[in-house]
A = this chain, B = another copy of it.
Amino acid sequence: MPELRQNIATREWVVIATERAKRPDDFADAERPLSESRPAREAGCPFCPGNEAIAGPPTLSVDGPGGWLVRVVPNKFPALVEDQEPMRSFRGIERRMSGFGVHEVLIESPLHNVTTALQSDVEVARSLRAMRSRGRSLARDERILVTIFFKNHGAEAGTSLEHPHSQMVSLPVVPHHVRGRLQDAGAYFDEHGSCVFCDMWRQELTAGARVIVEGAHCVAFIPYAAFSPFHTWIVPKRHMPLFIQASDAELEDVARVLRSVLRRIYFSLRDPDFNFVVRTAPNHEERSRSFHWYLSIVPKVTRTAGFEIGSGMFINTSLPEESARFLREAKSS
């Protein structure tokens, strides 16, 4: 029988359609070439060593004895640009703002054919620290309200670039969706006197059925109302509204857990395309008692259609408890 589930943090309902369910390993595509089967270096790749001139000067570079290890560069085709001031103008239905913003790319490795799952804990932590470092610098600019950190892996997830990278977009507005999440978390706090994300990770840990892996400072689980198969949250245990507030120890633990989850997905589902996003509060909400940053991983194993557009709800053809057990038991090293 299908059932409806509601995420207590996002208040979104999802249809868990067990009648349409596949077995977890049916989502693995045996035809898909693995990331590691690509060459370690690609002559025309703008992110490969030797081609640094294409991307231009970095805003951050972490160097090792043999050259750079990670680099952050301006996006060559930025969605938003820095050389204008954020000016709003309202005229009837025409509400606009100049396209001020910052759009950067984090190149996660000099190697063309690795992906997070194939990197070491140290390498993944280095990328997260670079992300945090840029996020902290950008947060000093009062014109920036929030920075969205995300990774697109594979064509289905929206990138044509194979070289391992993630992105940061700093916005001069609070997106309506982010505002809604903040308000919902605030309403929960007013009702319960606690942060919904703090309550959620504790209860998920107690229930256990949806936990994939627990770290010293964070927990990875498939939410009770996961909106798609293998949709995973990594929630830090300490209450912190902003991603950039994470300590070194916390970030290293998130890196370990993230890598562990992505390895399980890589090996058991054969390197599916995926997105991950860091959901963080706007910079000025750094003392929020109700919002809590977390990382959300969305493997692209299904497609959204008219029902999702029309209702904002999702139909999940897998049972979160079953997907979690599958990933918990999957190879991670």
Q: Interface residues, chain A, CB within 8 Å of chain B?
A: 1-6, 8, 10-13, 15-17, 19-20, 77-81, 84, 92-99, 101, 148-152, 156-159, 166-167, 169, 171-173, 175-178, 180, 199-200, 203-204, 207, 224-225, 275-279, 296, 298, 303-307, 309-313, 315
Contacts and interface: CB of A to CB of B under 8 A. Distances in A.
A311 B79 contact: no
Contacts of A178: 311-312
A64 B305 CA distance: 32
Given A175-B312, A306-B276, A16 B150 contact: no
Contact of A79 (B95, B99, B309, B315): B315
A203 B4 CA distance: 40
A309 B19 contact: no
Given A150-B305, A307-B150, A15 B175 contact: no
Nearest to A169: B307
Contacts of A279: 310
29 contacts: A1-B99, A2-B99, A3-B99, A4-B99, A4-B173, A6-B96, A6-B97, A8-B95, A11-B176, A13-B97, A13-B176, A17-B79, A17-B99, A19-B78, A92-B199, A93-B207, A93-B224, A148-B307, A148-B311, A150-B307, A151-B306, A157-B305, A169-B307, A175-B311, A177-B311, A177-B312, A180-B180, A277-B306, A277-B309
Interface of A is mostly: mixed
A15 B79 contact: yes
A163 to B, nearest CB: 16
Contacts of A169: 307, 311
B199 A93 contact: yes
Given A2-B78, A13-B176, 14 more contacts: A1-B81, A2-B79, A3-B98, A5-B97, A6-B97, A8-B93, A13-B97, A15-B99, A92-B203, A95-B224, A150-B305, A150-B310, A167-B307, A177-B313
Given A169-B311, A312-B178, A313-B175, A81 B4 contact: no
Contact of A171 (B177, B275, B311): B311
B158 A306 contact: yes
